[in-house]
């Protein structure tokens, strides 16, 4: 089945929960609402995408996102599925019962972004110690132990993405370090 | 002029001087123990150096090269001094008496087996008429020492390691003893000196009457069990650091650890000596009279030389195997002892017994040589036609 | 940082998951252990000698790689990728620069592509040699360790000649390669390949053909092929389950489609199959290097790249075949010099997650063999 046909089938089945879609080469790119994400994953797995390459998180300032990269060992098509979740209460249904590979990937997403996965069999942190507080890969993660990094003049001033009204205020870049003392001649 | 006759002369002399019999007994015991301890110390130091050199050359490197100049011959002396000067650590909560005694028990058991080793014609500390039985029985006491060491260390992994080691030692003793019964049946005696004498002479003028020829199967079974008794690879689960459970001597350091190590090398020499005596003809070998010395002394010196050569060749093979092979898993080890070696040893015993009863001793030689030839042909065929074993699915 | 009340950690989670009777024993393997290949903690639940469950605990080597990646520009990330899988740095570099080039749509010159393949395949040989050495060492064969390291030293000498470094090379650049091969490098490489081809039968004679080794690894640590796909296994792990899947062939990148090489596949799904796959992969990598050296064209080694690398806004997930499996880099760019989101999909991370499945029904003594056959490097697992 070609990527276009697959996209048609997905749109037919899931209607308006598919908010964005695109076909880029052999890859179908979709954005689906969290209510339908598990169903969509199930549908895609049954359509032949039995291999979950990667499950990652992303923090757009207004919302968080869970990104699924799927592929198949039998045909060259790929699927790139994005599920935006609410920042205040990020919950998605876990896909560990569809692909077992999702187990550790979802634990890492929870660990670093705070997205909770309903129905995950072992919902604990994986990389950080069990009693860590905070989700480091979020853009507003502030920790006094973060060491400021200066580009020594190479950093450019770029506009940051607009935060939605009501979203938590981003911490912004850490304060620059104190200037170095002048060296002795 | 045998050792026994020298001892009798000593007894006669001290009786003439009016001393009680305990004096010459103690003198003889002290001298003998000193000589044997001295030999063990020197031999163990040499074996440690030799093992490092052999392992190095197998691994395309050099080994000790500096200490003492020529190829680091003094490395063992330096290591011994280092171990002597280390701090004496006894873990908290350990059973002190048992902890201190354990290495002594292991070493004493290994040492006591030197009593019936026939070094040369007439040179044997005491030619017991149950020689080989005594040696195997005394070597079993090493297991007691190992369990003491594991238990007293107050460490659950130590105990588990000691239990495994004891299980391994005890399991491999059964085929070991059974395989030794073959030569005993052929020679008709258990005394070590007489066993060596029974292997004198040659068949057809060139083939020595060593028991390895009719008893090749027993020799191989014995050698495998001997490796397991010494905790050498491929049977070194009790000492393996890279497995989950650490060894029984993990809490020992310094001189106590050195005693365990000395006991291991002493044990290696003992099993090699038993193999040499029972299978390789002991001190038999070509000799010629030396000018200026009586015949017996020349024969004795050559006998000693050949005995040591054969022992050290076997020890070399043990070391070679250690640095080439991988380790067996614990359950595979036990399987191998009970399901493979034991039936083979039994079969050997039955065949030997049958043939001896029927009176056809030569048949044993024929069988032995036939087995050796078959194995040689199989190995040669394998080396020539090595198939490419790669699957192209 | 204030701490909340203690959350039930590993042991309790395991107890809740598999039920608790009084006969089981919990044994801890690691995080300091000679055979866990890094700081990995395995909590084993044993019934006598049999393993009922195994819980791996990772994160001891977590160095915040992805967060750092969001604060460095694209070229500055390259040395960080070295330290992911420090035993296959060239492959990590390769995956990363390929991802950025795909995002930017850059065409790399031919000579640079061939150089990349040569170095990546030499790195595969070096990584598999180290795997073979430590695998044999864990099983008690000390000699193969020295033999494999002798060959690995030769590869490291070649890498030192070309990049100046023995371990973390940072040699690939976005758009090409920074430096060309030194004068005698190609001849040295050919000499190494000639020497190396005779060594593989030697390793077989020492370890592979030895019945003791075979008894240790055959039938141990098997995993069902369907589960292997479900768990997302890749690399030698999946090729040892009878599934012919190699990204160099099935999703070709760089110039791999110009070379002739076999994909070794075995179907017994156990540790023995993984050993055979990796052993044969070394021979195939040597073939690829020979062909690449023969086809090496003259020319530029670096495409025309702007001074500040600024990919257009967008995202890409690019996967390459590292010695351990499918290495994926997922980069979201927002048009600036630094990535907006930078994620590494590490093959050993996914392969390790299947360890509890592989250890079902194994003995304690098999843990070392199975863990060795997964070929993990904690650097890329924990990032």
Chain C hits for A124, CB-CB cut-off 8 Å, are: 7, 9, 13
Q: What is the CATH number of the domain that holds C224?
A: 1.10.645.10
Contacts of C33 (CB under 8 A, 6+ apart): none
- Chain A contact for C31 (CB, 8 A cutoff): no
Domain of residue C30 covers 10-57
Beta bridge partner(s), residue C55: C43
Q: Do residues C304 and C363 both lie within one domain?
A: yes
| Residues in chain B closer than 8 A to C46 (CB atoms) | none
Q: Which residues of A touch C (CB under 8 A)?
A: 50-54, 56, 58-59, 67, 69, 73, 76, 80, 99-101, 103-105, 112, 121-122, 124-131, 133-134, 136-137, 143, 149, 151, 154, 156, 158, 161
Structure tokens at C42: 């395995």
Same structural domain for residues C248 and C294? yes
Per DSSP, the three-state class of C263 is: coil
pLDDT of residue A148: 62
Whether C40 and C186 map to the same domain: the answer is: no
Q: What is the pLDDT of residues C48-57, one digit of tens each?
A: 778 888 889 9
Whole-angstrom Cα Rg for chain B: 23
Does C223 fall in a domain?
yes
pLDDT at C10: 53
Instruction: Report the alpha-carbon distance of residue C329 to residue C334 in Å, rounded.
Output: 16
C4, part of any domain: no
Contacts of C368 in chain B (CB under 8 A): 242-244
**Dist. CA B109–CA B169, nearest whole Å:** 14
Tell me: pLDDT of C156 over 90.
yes
Q: Residue C227: phi, psi to the nearest 5? A: -65, -35
In a shared domain, residues C119 and C30: no
Averaged pLDDT for residues A66-95: 91
CA B73 to chain centre: 23
Contacts of B236 in chain C (CB under 8 A): 140
Query: Is the pLDDT score of C216 beyond 80?
Result: yes
C185 and C328 share one domain:
yes
Asked if A53 lies within 8 A of C336 by C-beta distance, the reply is: no
What distance lies between CA A24 and its chain's CA centroid?
20
* Domains, chain A, with CATH or none: 14-118 (3.30.460.80)
Q: Tell me, yes or no, whether C252 and C364 share the same domain.
A: yes
Residues C164 and C84 in one domain: yes
Q: Name residue A67's beta-bridge partners.
A: A56, A82
In this prediction, residue A184 has a pLDDT band, given cuts at 50, 70 and 90, of very low
pLDDT digits (tens, 9 = 90+) for C227-282: 999 999 999 999 999 999 999 998 899 899 999 998 999 988 899 999 999 999 99
Is C179 inside a domain boundary?
A: yes
State yes or no: pLDDT of A170 exceeds 80.
no
To the nearest whole percent, how much of chain C has pLDDT over 70?
A: 93
Size of interface A-C (CB pairs under 8 A): 100
Q: Which of B245, B323, B392 sits opposite C142 (nearest CB)?
A: B323
Mark whether C250 and C305 lie in a shared domain: yes
Closest Cβ opposite residue C229 in set A73, A133, A158: A73
Residues in chain A closer than 8 A to C308 (CB atoms): 156
- The residues near C367 (Cβ < 8 Å, ≥ 6 apart) are B244, C29, C42, C44, C51, C54, C359
Q: What is the pLDDT of residues B194-210, one digit of tens each?
A: 889 888 877 777 778 88
Contacting residues for B85 by C-beta, under 8 A, at least 6 apart = none
* Percent of chain B at pLDDT exceeding 70: 93
C49 lies in the same domain as C97: no
Which among C143, C185, C193 has a CA at the least distance from the CA of C162?
C185
Contact criterion met (CB below 8 Å) for C75 and C173: yes
Q: How much is the pLDDT for C3?
A: 44
C294 in B contact zone (CB under 8 Å): no
Structural domain tally of chain C?
2
Residue B363's pLDDT band (cuts 50, 70, 90) = confident
Task: State whether C232 and C101 are in the same domain.
Answer: yes
Average pLDDT, chain B: 84
Share of chain A above pLDDT 70, in %: 77
C181 has pLDDT over 70: yes
Q: From the CB coordinates, do chains B and A have 3 or more pairs under 8 Å? A: no
User: What is the least distance, in Å, from the CA of C113 to any CA of chain B?
Assistant: 28
Q: What is the ipTM of this complex?
A: 0.87
Tell me what pLDDT residue A12 has: 87
Are C75 and C200 found together in one domain?
yes
Mean local confidence (pLDDT), A3-16: 86
Residues C163, C15 share a domain: no
Q: How does pLDDT run across B233-266, given as a tens digit for each residue? A: 778 877 765 565 567 777 888 888 888 888 889 9
């Amino acid at each position: 089945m070609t990527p276009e046909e697959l996209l048609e089938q997905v749109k037919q089945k899931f209607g308006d929960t598919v908010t964005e879609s695109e076909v880029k080469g052999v890859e179908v790119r979709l954005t689906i609402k969290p209510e339908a994400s598990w169903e969509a994953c199930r549908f895609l797995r049954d359509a032949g995408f039995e291999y979950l390459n990667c499950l990652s998180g992303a923090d757009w300032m207004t919302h968080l996102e869970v990104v699924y990269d799927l592929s198949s060992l039998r045909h060259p098509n790929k699927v790139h599925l994005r599920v935006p979740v609410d920042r205040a209460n990020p919950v998605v249904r876990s896909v560990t019962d569809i692909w077992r590979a999702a187990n550790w990937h979802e634990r890492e997403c929870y660990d670093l972004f705070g997205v909770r996965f309903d129905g995950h069999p072992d919902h604990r942190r994986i990389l950080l110690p069990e009693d860590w507080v905070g989700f480091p890969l979020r853009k507003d993660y502030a920790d006094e132990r973060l060491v400021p990094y200066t580009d020594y003049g190479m950093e450019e001033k770029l506009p940051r993405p607009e935060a939605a009204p009501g979203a938590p205020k981003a911490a912004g870049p850490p304060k620059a370090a104190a200037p170095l003392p002048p060296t002795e001649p | 002029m045998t050792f026994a006759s020298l001892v009798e002369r000593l007894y006669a002399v001290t009786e003439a001087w009016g001393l009680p019999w305990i004096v010459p007994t103690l003198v003889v015991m002290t001298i003998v123990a000193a000589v044997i301890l001295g030999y063990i110390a020197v031999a163990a130091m040499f074996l440690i150096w030799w093992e490092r050199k052999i392992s190095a050359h197998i691994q395309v490197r050099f080994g000790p090269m500096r200490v003492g100049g020529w190829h680091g011959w003094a490395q063992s002396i330096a290591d011994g001094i280092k171990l002597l000067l280390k701090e004496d650590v006894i873990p908290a909560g350990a059973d002190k008496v048992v902890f201190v005694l354990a290495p002594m028990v292991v070493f004493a058991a290994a040492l006591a087996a030197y009593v019936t080793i026939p070094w040369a014609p007439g040179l044997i500390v005491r030619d017991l008429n149950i020689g080989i039985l005594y040696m195997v029985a005394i070597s079993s006491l090493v297991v007691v020492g190992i369990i003491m060491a594991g238990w007293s260390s107050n460490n659950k992994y130590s105990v588990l390691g000691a239990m495994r080691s004891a299980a391994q030692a005890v399991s491999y003793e059964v085929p070991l003893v059974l395989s030794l019964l073959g030569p005993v049946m052929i020679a008709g005696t258990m005394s070590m000196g007489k066993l060596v004498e029974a292997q004198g002479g040659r068949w057809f003028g060139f083939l020595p009457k060593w028991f390895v020829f009719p008893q090749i199967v027993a020799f191989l079974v014995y050698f495998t069990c001997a490796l397991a008794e010494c905790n050498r690879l491929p049977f070194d689960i009790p000492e393996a650091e890279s497995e989950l459970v650490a060894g029984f001597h993990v809490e020992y350091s310094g001189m106590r650890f050195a005693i365990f190590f000395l006991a291991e090398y002493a044990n290696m020499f003992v099993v090699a000596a038993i193999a040499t005596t029972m299978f390789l003809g002991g001190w038999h070998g070509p000799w010629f009279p030396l000018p200026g010395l009586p015949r017996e002394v020349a024969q004795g010196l050559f006998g000693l030389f050949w005995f040591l050569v054969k022992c050290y060749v076997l020890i070399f093979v043990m070391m070679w195997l250690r640095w080439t092979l991988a380790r067996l898993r614990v359950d595979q080890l036990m399987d191998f002892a009970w399901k493979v070696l034991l039936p083979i040893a039994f079969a050997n015993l039955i065949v030997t017994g049958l043939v001896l009863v029927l009176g056809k001793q030569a048949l044993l030689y024929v069988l032995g040589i036939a087995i050796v030839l078959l194995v040689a042909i199989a190995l040669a065929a394998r080396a020539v036609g090595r198939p490419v074993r790669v699957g192209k699915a | 940082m204030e701490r909340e009340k203690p959350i039930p950690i590993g042991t309790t989670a395991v107890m809740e998951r598999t039920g608790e009777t009084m006969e089981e024993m919990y044994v801890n393997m690691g995080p300091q252990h000679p055979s866990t290949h890094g700081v990995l903690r395995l909590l084993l639940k044993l019934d006598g000698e049999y393993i009922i469950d195994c819980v791996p605990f990772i994160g001891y080597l977590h160095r915040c790689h992805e967060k750092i990646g969001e604060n460095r520009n694209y070229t500055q990330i390259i040395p960080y990728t070295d330290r992911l899988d420090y035993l296959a740095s060239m492959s990590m570099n390769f995956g990363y620069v390929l991802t950025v080039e795909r995002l930017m749509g850059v065409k790399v010159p031919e000579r640079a592509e061939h150089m990349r393949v040569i170095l990546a395949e030499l790195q595969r040989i070096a990584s598999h040699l180290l795997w073979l050495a430590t695998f044999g060492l864990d099983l008690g064969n000390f000699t193969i360790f020295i033999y494999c390291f002798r060959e690995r030293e030769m590869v490291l000498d070649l890498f030192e000649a070309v990049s100046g470094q023995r371990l973390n090379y940072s040699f690939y650049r976005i758009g090409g390669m920074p430096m060309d091969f030194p004068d005698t490098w190609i001849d040295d490489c050919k000499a190494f390949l000639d020497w190396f081809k005779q060594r593989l039968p030697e390793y077989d004679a020492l370890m592979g053909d030895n019945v003791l080794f075979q008894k240790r690894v055959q039938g141990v640590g098997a995993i069902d092929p369907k589960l292997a796909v479900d768990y997302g296994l890749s690399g030698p792990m999946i090729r040892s389950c009878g599934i012919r899947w190699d990204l160099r062939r099935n999703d070709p990148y760089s110039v791999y489609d110009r070379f002739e090489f076999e994909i070794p596949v075995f179907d017994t799904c156990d540790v023995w199959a993984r050993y055979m796959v990796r052993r044969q992969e070394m021979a195939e990598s040597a073939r690829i290097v020979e062909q690449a050296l023969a086809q090496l064209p003259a020319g530029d080694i670096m495409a025309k790249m702007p001074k500040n690398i600024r990919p257009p806004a967008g995202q890409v997930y690019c996967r390459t075949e590292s010695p351990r499996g499918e290495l994926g880099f997922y980069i979201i760019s927002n048009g600036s010099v630094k990535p907006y989101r930078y994620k590494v999909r590490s093959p050993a991370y996914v392969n390790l997650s299947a360890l509890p499945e592989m250890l079902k029904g194994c003995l304690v003594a098999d843990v070392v063999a199975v863990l060795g056959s997964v070929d993990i490097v904690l650097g890329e697992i924990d990032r």
